[in-house]
Amino acid sequence: MSELDEEVLVAQSQEGDLQAFNTIVQRYERQVYNLALRMLGDQALAEDATQDAFISAFNHIKGFRGGSLKAWLLKTVANRCRDLLRSAYRRHNISLEGLTLNAEPSFPSREESPEEYTMRRELGQEIQRGLDTLPADQRLALVLVDIQGLSYEEAAESAGASLGTIKSRLSRGRAHLRDYLRTHGELLPEQFRRRV
Amino acid sequence: MRVVEVFWRLWKRGHQRYQESLSDYMDGRLDARDQGRLEEHFSRCEECVRDLESLRATVQLLQRVPLVDTPRSFQLQEMPVLRPARPLFLRAMQVSTAVAGVLLAVLLVGDLLGSFGDGAMPPEDRAQVAQEEGQLEALAATTPPTMVPAPSMAAEAGEAATPSPEGADPEAAREPTTAETDLSAEEEMPQPFQIEEGDGWGLINTFQVVVGALAGVLLAATAYLTYRRLRSAT
């Protein structure tokens, strides 16, 4: 989808065109869902957060004033995740540390052997355990920049924070995760054990 | 020994700053001057070099974390219904809490500054009190102290303490003396300070109670709404 196409789709969505908005959903749902999954660490909660985020995005798309649509959508889902984490913490109904990521990664590609696929899956699970130990703001910065590959500027926009804040959260988050992986390195797939 | 300790602390502080900039260095986000300083530090500090390598490995691991496929499509099947209730509820809570806070602040500041005391009395009332005070002082000045018995003593003094001389007109004897007249006048006169002050405090206390009660009601309403909200969320 080119930038021009995206602008047209946004304009049509702002007029209430559901089909145009669904094209946008189709384009970004994977990234939005993955952010929710990494933030919440639970598939069912991530599904709810993603769906709520797209509903909210449709309702508020008239307020979108240009810029990165991806960052705007990620900001919407990040806010929803923050709400869920806050209410979960408040009610103590969900022990976030106890949650395990039971989602399957992408199916193996033609170049990837089943062993590599399994290793990648195990790595994802162990990294998720490490991410769960981080404060939500640091986790969000890490997921946006290091996992989703956003630039610092896009990540700042998605997190609703300044560039300096994102840099600081990223620095502390990376250091915390490194310390976690150092102490839990034996849980990593063998291929990755000695790297950290 | 002390010099070594100070030097060690300074070095540690500098080292800590370099540690914090490793992430920015790795992403090429340091300016040329800071980058040069950090690279110079690397030549003296093996720990920072090791930490940079492990940080780089951590980021590489993160970059290898696979994106998960969505379990279903999140496309919207029908026009979603707006949910305006929540912002309205939140706004109502914010307003009521703010009003309650202002009322409590007014109450507290007023109490601390003492403006709920005499200062709250209207100027005309204050002038009246001052006038009555002046009259009383003038009265007290014209009356010899011995001729102003205490009100309780005045009744007993009538017959027992000062018997009337024989042959004197009993009616005249019953005539109240100037002092007694003044005394009775004083007795009849309401005690201006206490009563006026009491009245003032009464009014002010009523004001304070009303403001406090209003703030309390608002806070209670906020607490109740929050409780309802939490209950409905579970």
**pLDDT, tens digit, 9 for 90 and up, residues B13-47:** 778 889 999 999 999 999 999 999 999 999 999 99
Which ranges of chain B have pLDDT less than 70?
1, 81-89, 114-126, 129, 142-204, 231-234
Q: B70 and A29: CB-CB below 8 Å?
A: yes
| Cα–Cα distance, B68 to B71 (Å, whole number) | 9
pTM of structure? 0.59
- What pLDDT is recorded for position A95? 46
Residue B165: its pLDDT value, please?
Answer: 47
Q: Is A138 on the interface with B (CB under 8 A)?
A: no
**What pLDDT, on a 0 to 100 scale, did the predictor assign at position B43?**
93
Tell me the mean pLDDT in the region A174-181.
93
Mean pLDDT over A3-30 rounds to: 92
Q: What percentage of chain A reaches a pLDDT higher than 90? A: 63
Q: Which residue has the higher pLDDT, B112 or A46?
A: A46
Cβ distance B74 to A196 less than 8 Å, yes or no, reads no
B71 → chain A, closest CA residue: A47
Find the CB nearest A43 among B29, B57, B71: B71
B29 to A171: CB separation less than 8 angstroms, yes or no: no
Categorize the per-residue pLDDT at A143 as very low, low, confident or very high, splitting at 50, 70 and 90.
Answer: very high
Q: Enter the tokens of residue B45.
A: 């500090």
* Token couple for A106: 């992408």
pLDDT for the residue B108: 81
Question: What mean pLDDT do residues A32-51 have?
Answer: 94
HSE-CB for B54 with a 13 A CA cutoff = 21
Question: In angstroms, rounded to a whole number, what is the distance separating the alpha carbons of residues A139 and A141?
Answer: 5
Instruction: Return the higher-pLDDT residue of A89 and A72.
Output: A72
| pLDDT for residue B158 | 47
Q: What percent of the residues of chain B are helix, what percent strand, and what percent coil, each to the nearest 5?
A: 75, 0, 25
Taking contacts as CB-CB distances below 8 angstroms, the residues of chain B near A59 are 80, 82
Beta bridge partners of A105: B68
Query: A53 and A73 in contact (C-beta within 8 Å)?
Result: yes
Within 8 A by CB and 6+ apart from B16, the residues are none
Q: In whole angstroms, how far apart are CA A193 and each of A108, A178, A188, B47? A: 22, 12, 6, 20
Mean pLDDT score, A31-54: 94
SS3 A100: coil
For A191, name the nearest residue in chain B, comparing CA atoms only. Answer: B61
What are A82-117's pLDDT values in tens digits? Answer: 999 888 766 655 444 444 455 555 555 556 677 777
Determine the Cα–Cα distance for residues B28 and B186; give it in Å rounded to an integer: 93
Contact state of A167 with B23 under an 8 Å Cβ cutoff: yes
pLDDT at B188 (0 to 100): 52
Residue given tokens 């109670």 in the structure block: B209
φ/ψ (deg, to 5) at B144:
-65, 145
**Under a CB-based contact definition with an 8 Å cutoff, are residues B215 and B103 in contact?**
yes
Percent of chain B with pLDDT over 90: 21
A105 DSSP 8-state letter: B
- Where do runs of H (alpha helix) occur along chain A? 3-14, 18-40, 43-60, 69-91, 114-132, 136-142, 152-159, 163-183
Q: Which residue has the higher pLDDT, A78 or A111?
A: A78
Contact across the interface for B55 and A178, Cβ inside 8 Å: yes
Average pLDDT of chain A is: 85
Please, which residues bridge with residue B68 across strands?
A105
Predicted confidence band at A194 (pLDDT cuts at 50, 70, 90)?
Answer: low
